[in-house]
Amino acid sequence: QVQLVESGGGLVQPGGSLRLSCAASGRTFSTYGWFRQAPGKEREFVAAIRLSIGRLDYADSVKGRFTISRDNAKNTVYLQMNSLKPEDTAVYYCAARILPRVDLKYDYWGQGTQVTVSS
């Protein structure tokens, strides 16, 4: 059974840090991604890691502040978030792709975890 289980969300002050985790089970994937959605807004891309070539991609809004990584032994993907801003407040979703796709869609999604940046 394929499953993505997220954890690590919560409340943090502006300028603080938070690390999100996404534990994958059931199979292996070629790509892992993080997305977020704020109330009343569309879902947006945050970061992705492509395992075949070790490529990392980030949205311009989080470059230099967020880092995506993977622990192969635990089959877990992380999103380290530093220098957090109030505008980072959103529900964060982990996603995974089984094989490379021309449409760049993801095959599986986690349940989402709330991140709130506020003083």
* pLDDT tens sequence across 3-14: 999 999 999 999
- Residue 18 above 90 pLDDT? yes
Q: Which residues contact 32 (CB under 8 A, 6 or more apart)?
A: 22, 24, 48, 49, 51, 68, 70, 77, 94, 95, 96, 97
Alpha-carbon gap, residue 109 to 14, rounded angstroms: 28
Work out the average pLDDT over 20-25: 96
pLDDT tens sequence across 34-53: 999 999 999 999 999 998 88
In this prediction, residues 63-87 reach a mean pLDDT of 96
Instruction: Report CA 118 to chain centroid distance, whole Å.
Output: 20
* Distance in angstroms (rounded) separating the CA atoms of residues 6 and 76: 10
Token output for 13? 């002050």
